[in-house]
Structure 1
């Protein structure tokens, strides 16, 4: 039986496949005719374990490899085979211990270091991954895999110059290695150097025209450049070539779905988006409950439906813009809807959707993925079926005309808190009161390109007549100091509010402020959902724009766009002019 293991993910750009390890072939061909009974039994267990790995029956392989270790715990091949099985089962802690034991008893085997590096990379232990790949390079000078993987790990740590040095040196020795050119292109792309990235990816394509990974990388680069039409061409080629492992293929198909949505091809895009809900998409959210998931074509009329939150908090708000339509158009007056959401949203959702049962969900990270369960107050789930919050997109939002919201919003802020914050804001004196956000809480190396660097905000922040209010959750002290010392701008801090957790207050501020300014993060979505005026800085071809020049999800949103993700100064220049116009209007009023 073939195992489907949701936890296993291939790091982006990784070279090497543990299922093609020489250790597996070596173990699978072991002779079992030794006159020594102990050795004969050891070889039998190892050979059968390796054959089970080749059949992708990893649980049986792991059990047999552990039996082999019971016979000889110091056998390096037995430790290596057991580690590979545990690795593919998602038991990463045990796999790591077994790989390290294999190294202890076979310290000159570069393949073990490669597999160790791939595992450490997969579970985001970047410093360990770097160390293992450097050791592999010492044992195997000139290794294409080691050079590629080390360069990619350095890239994922934001150490771009070091990554480029490693990759360029490897390319000088192996100019025919397409994977190295592609890795160099990906490193350039993560710095938003998309012209250079395209040159390197195109050279990789010349060398390996029938590689899904290279076609995907080209598609991703065109996505970052704000050219979803060209991106889709390459994602389609990647799909047609179809030579990626299942988990990488799912990532590429998901990127293709977003390209379709970005082009306004909503029905196709939402249908393709379903790949995110398959076991192959390893980074997706997994759910555990005793009620069945809704399936396509199943009627929801009169049924009891539970909507499960997925992805991040901002996504839950965005998708719940459909909540009232779900009740009216899918379930109907005789049905019932429950919402299992991020715990911090419960209070706001209870006020906003009084006819719905609102409950928190509990979430636990598991080996790069997420496990989520609903937490009803009485401990029981009285529902006929459940669906992910994004699923109704393909039932209710297949055309531009399907998007509609009242300007007052679909989230109901507490009117007393709105009044409170208006009074606080009045104490800051005259001027346009603008809430400011500029980043997400999670700012890994590969997410920085999605947000304008704080220095670029200077012309907007220096607009006379605008009073800036800090709404940035997470760490913001460094940027506030930059604003004071370098820009001459005092961004105000509000008293008595936890910007990360007091989401009901954020919704109230959305209505109390004249506007909220920033990229599309969780707080901006909350304020928009509550009917606040939003000035959003965004790439002009981002998927949430749905191929339009306005933001259909929230009617009170004004867009300030730039082509792609590397030209934020264009969007902020537009923003600065609009702020000056608004401040002048306020002064003249």
Structure 2
């Protein structure tokens, strides 16, 4: 009976037996080649199994049988967009909408595709159409908030996030976006609270550790032991490490699990703290139930950075580079530079989600790299030798590549390299966090709407007292940023100040 096999396929899919569900639906379509519903269900399971080409074939077969099958058109669009075939996906969504003008999910999917493609206005129209059909569609409010935030319309963004949360109080993604927006605007007290929702999100990109200890609730830590475990990227680990000294001031015994490459650097910088390389499984010592509390490092802010007055501006640095390495590198660079200013540069981010808008091209740097009294040293992590060679061969500029430093392999060596320089100029990436934590003069180049760490409009940040922020005045305007940096660099050379 077809209905039995349809239901069996759904049961197997819900149990996670995707291969079993695929076999069932394949049997159904072999027995009944005109069963468009079975082809659609087969496409869904294939798509969930990341067999996108096969799922596309199944959806197209369903549509061939029934050209008015709105769900199949919409599902086809989802599969195409997941392969970044945006134009084809948009066509499929529009077909679904032609078939069913009140198909809210198809409008939402259309908005998603348009948003990813960069068609902001059309995406906004699609999301508003969703809300006209279904005023309780929380995901549409959330995405409108994201788009408003990207356009710098922060009041609208906050309202959209609030609407999403009102419709669905347990919508973790909206809470997280709301928290990031609040932190961006400087509302630390409420922002950190919303930030805690990050652990309830689906498809979280970093791992929540399952240590046995209770989470710290901000209570007194005198003679207590607390385990702090790091999360997210290396730059975030370095920035949040600025709060470790606050825990020391509470007379706590502190144990930290962190990125293995950071252990030598952090152990030197915080000699009273025990550091352990992050592993899976974790070091057995960290599983001891006699440890009083645990907390992820990104959650410390709710207790230690509730407003800007909590930041320790009297301590401009907290990382200590190896002094012998610093001395050796500085002597080498000074000999090469012949009394020129030693400037380290980095121009892009490896962040897959937002790296594109944070990154620049070396061509943008030409006016800066042409400054006569400056010696430029590459701080860009990754294999960029060919990129630098291609750029410098067609210009009168040069960028020194220190072959002895591998920033991805040894963060301790990289930290010494940064510490050996006079000034660091970089887009928002790990380099600026290292420089800021060392108390080096660092100029950070950020997009119009930046990561929450750099807040809005201001040229400074409470996280790093020695940092100066150069921000786009409008979306995508790196040219204006580099004009201001170039002028600031000329002024700095005249006044010997950064």
Q: TM-score under structure 2 normalisation?
A: 0.85
Tell me if structure 1 keeps the 8 A contact 2:55–2:79.
no
Alignment correspondent of 1:517:
425
Alignment correspondent of 2:231:
310
Larger displacement relative to structure 2 (109-118 or 517-526) = 109-118
2:137 is the counterpart of 1:234: no
Q: 99, 108, 112: which one pairs with 2:41?
A: 112
Tell me how far apart the structure 1 counterparts of residues 109 and 485 of structure 2 sit (CA, whole Å). Answer: 35
Once the two structures are TM-superposed, the CA of residue 325 in structure 1 deviates from its matched residue by 0.6
Tell me how far apart the structure 2 counterparts of residues 573 and 209 of structure 1 sit (CA, whole Å). Answer: 46
Tell me if structure 2 keeps the 8 A contact 1:434–1:514.
yes
Tell me how far apart the structure 2 counterparts of residues 501 and 306 of structure 1 sit (CA, whole Å). Answer: 26
Tell me if structure 2 keeps the 8 A contact 1:438–1:518.
yes
Once the two structures are TM-superposed, the CA of residue 556 in structure 1 deviates from its matched residue by 1.0
Tell me if structure 2 keeps the 8 A contact 1:194–1:225.
no
Unaligned runs of 5+ in 1: 1-22, 28-74, 87-94, 364-372
Question: Structure 1 residues 526, 458: CA separation in 2 closer, same or farther (over 3 Å shift)?
Answer: closer
2:458 is the counterpart of 1:536: no
2:140 is the counterpart of 1:214: yes
Alignment correspondent of 2:56:
133
Question: Structure 1 residues 300, 378: CA separation in 2 closer, same or farther (over 3 Å shift)?
Answer: closer
- Relative contact order, higher structure (CA 8 A, sep 6+): 1
Tell me how far apart the structure 2 counterparts of residues 163 and 581 of structure 1 sit (CA, whole Å). Answer: 51
Q: 261, 277, 291: which one pairs with 2:183?
A: 261
Tell me how far apart the structure 2 counterparts of residues 468 and 102 of structure 1 sit (CA, whole Å). Answer: 63
SS of the aligned residue for 2:226 comes to strand
2:246 is the counterpart of 1:325: yes
Once the two structures are TM-superposed, the CA of residue 458 in structure 1 deviates from its matched residue by 4.0
Tell me if structure 1 keeps the 8 A contact 2:330–2:421.
yes
Q: 2, 6, 12: which one pairs with 1:82?
A: 12
Once the two structures are TM-superposed, the CA of residue 83 in structure 1 deviates from its matched residue by 2.8
Once the two structures are TM-superposed, the CA of residue 409 in structure 1 deviates from its matched residue by 0.9
- Superposed CA deviations along residues 146-204 of structure 1, whole A, max 9, x for unmatched, are 44454455445544444444445555555544444443433343355534443443344
Q: 329, 334, 359: which one pairs with 1:452?
A: 359
Alignment correspondent of 1:558:
468
Larger displacement relative to structure 2 (203-212 or 410-419) = 203-212
Tell me how far apart the structure 2 counterparts of residues 486 and 472 of structure 1 sit (CA, whole Å). Answer: 20
Tell me if structure 2 keeps the 8 A contact 1:193–1:566.
no
Question: Structure 1 residues 517, 207: CA separation in 2 closer, same or farther (over 3 Å shift)?
Answer: farther
Tell me how far apart the structure 2 counterparts of residues 435 and 143 of structure 1 sit (CA, whole Å). Answer: 58
Alignment correspondent of 1:358:
275
Larger displacement relative to structure 2 (497-506 or 427-436) = 427-436
Q: TM-score under structure 1 normalisation?
A: 0.73
- Superposed CA deviations along residues 358-397 of structure 1, whole A, max 9, x for unmatched, are 111115xxxxxxxxx5326798675222111122201111
Alignment correspondent of 2:325:
417
Tell me if structure 2 keeps the 8 A contact 1:80–1:98.
no
Question: Structure 1 residues 408, 131: CA separation in 2 closer, same or farther (over 3 Å shift)?
Answer: same
User: What are the equivalent positions in structure 2 for 1:461-540 lying under 5 Å apart?
Assistant: 461-465=368-372, 466-477=374-385, 479-485=387-393, 489-540=397-448
Tell me if structure 2 keeps the 8 A contact 1:436–1:471.
yes
Once the two structures are TM-superposed, the CA of residue 252 in structure 1 deviates from its matched residue by 1.5
Question: Structure 1 residues 348, 387: CA separation in 2 closer, same or farther (over 3 Å shift)?
Answer: same
Tell me if structure 1 keeps the 8 A contact 2:358–2:447.
no
Unaligned runs of 5+ in 2: 30-34
2:214 is the counterpart of 1:293: yes
- Superposed CA deviations along residues 385-437 of structure 1, whole A, max 9, x for unmatched, are 21111222011111111112456510111111111221232243243333222
User: What are the equivalent positions in structure 2 for 1:94-173 lying under 5 Å apart?
Assistant: 95-107=17-29, 109-120=38-49, 125=50, 128-140=51-63, 141-168=67-94, 170-171=96-97, 173=99
2:262 is the counterpart of 1:345: yes
Once the two structures are TM-superposed, the CA of residue 266 in structure 1 deviates from its matched residue by 1.1
Once the two structures are TM-superposed, the CA of residue 133 in structure 1 deviates from its matched residue by 3.4
Tell me how far apart the structure 2 counterparts of residues 449 and 155 of structure 1 sit (CA, whole Å). Answer: 19
Question: Structure 1 residues 215, 421: CA separation in 2 closer, same or farther (over 3 Å shift)?
Answer: same
Q: 348, 351, 354: which one pairs with 1:439?
A: 348
Once the two structures are TM-superposed, the CA of residue 317 in structure 1 deviates from its matched residue by 0.9
Tell me how far apart the structure 2 counterparts of residues 314 and 460 of structure 1 sit (CA, whole Å). Answer: 28
Tell me if structure 2 keeps the 8 A contact 1:151–1:162.
yes
Tell me if structure 1 keeps the 8 A contact 2:261–2:409.
yes
Question: Structure 1 residues 133, 339: CA separation in 2 closer, same or farther (over 3 Å shift)?
Answer: same
Alignment correspondent of 1:579:
489
Alignment correspondent of 1:398:
306
Once the two structures are TM-superposed, the CA of residue 228 in structure 1 deviates from its matched residue by 2.5
Question: Structure 1 residues 203, 278: CA separation in 2 closer, same or farther (over 3 Å shift)?
Answer: closer
Structure 1 segments of 4 or more deviating over 6 A?
A: none
Tell me how far apart the structure 1 counterparts of residues 220 and 348 of structure 2 sit (CA, whole Å). Answer: 41
Tell me if structure 2 keeps the 8 A contact 1:225–1:563.
no
Tell me if structure 2 keeps the 8 A contact 1:80–1:99.
yes
Tell me how far apart the structure 1 counterparts of residues 83 and 335 of structure 2 sit (CA, whole Å). Answer: 44
Once the two structures are TM-superposed, the CA of residue 320 in structure 1 deviates from its matched residue by 0.8
